[in-house]
């Protein structure tokens, strides 16, 4: 049994430590790895080797809003971050929106619908004053699980930047009207 919790911007050191540990465990699941990025909304992905841990990414990410999943023992096993009232050229048509940036789940807790439950909160379960008309996100074209999940949840592809993350690896932007 898992509990879903809206943290907002995390303030407790225990939560920040749990987030960083989970981020490190999922670093290599991303293209490029999070340790090679500066932030969750970075536009350019070409770069050097980066660090061994995603320190710079975490420093930017921890100022965002979080929804997390905890196991029966209260341990954080998954999180989803979003940047409220976000806009960028690729998403300008959707006004200030809640832009989901990073979802991480420990491998042993995957396949249990946790990310879907976290998406549910950002799409419909936020406090009224934090809701926006659209929820947006992006992923890379070879991330078949996410591409499938976004389509299944009703997200529409709104922009594609070809070869953005390397040859044959496009960045795909998505938007969903939620109210």
Angle at 173 between CA 35 and CA 85, to 5 degrees: 85
Left if phi > 0, otherwise alpha if psi is -120 to 50, otherwise beta: which for 50? left
Alpha-carbon gap, residue 97 to 94, rounded angstroms: 7
Closest listed residue to residue 85, CA positions, set 64, 103, 69, 67: 64
pLDDT score, position 48: 45
SS3 labels along 135-162? EEEEEECCCHHHHHHHHHCCCEEEEEEC
Sheet containing 97-105, strands listed edge to edge, beginning at the edge strand earlier in sequence: 3-8, 65-70, 76-86, 97-105, 134-140, 171-177, 156-161
Q: What is the pLDDT of residue 49?
A: 52
Tens digit of each residue's pLDDT (9 = 90 or more) over 70-88: 999 999 999 999 999 999 9
pLDDT of residue 78: 98
pLDDT tens digit sequence for 123-140: 999 999 999 999 999 999
Which residues of the chain fall below pLDDT 50? 42, 45-48
Round to whole Å and give the CA distance between 29 and 33: 7
Superfamily of domain 3-137: Gcn5-related N-acetyltransferase (GNAT) (3.40.630.30)
């Amino acid at each position: 049994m898992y509990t879903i919790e809206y943290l907002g911007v995390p303030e407790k050191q225990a939560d920040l430590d749990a987030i960083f540990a989970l981020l490190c465990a999922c670093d290599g699941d991303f293209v490029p790895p999070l340790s090679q990025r500066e932030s969750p909304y970075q536009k350019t992905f070409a770069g050097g080797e980066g660090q061994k841990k995603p320190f710079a990414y975490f420093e930017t990410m921890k100022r965002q809003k979080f929804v997390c999943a905890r196991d029966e023992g209260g341990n954080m096993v998954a999180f989803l971050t979003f940047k409220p009232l976000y806009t960028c050229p690729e998403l300008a048509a959707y006004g200030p929106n809640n832009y989901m940036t990073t979802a991480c789940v420990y491998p042993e807790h995957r396949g249990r619908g946790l990310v879907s439950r976290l998406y549910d909160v950002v799409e419909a379960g936020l406090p009224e004053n934090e809701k926006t008309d659209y929820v947006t996100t992006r992923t890379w074209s070879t991330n078949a699980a996410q591409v499938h999940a976004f389509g299944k949840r009703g997200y529409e592809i709104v922009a594609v930047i070809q070869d953005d993350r390397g040859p044959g690896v496009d960045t795909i932007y998505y938007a969903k009207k939620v109210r």
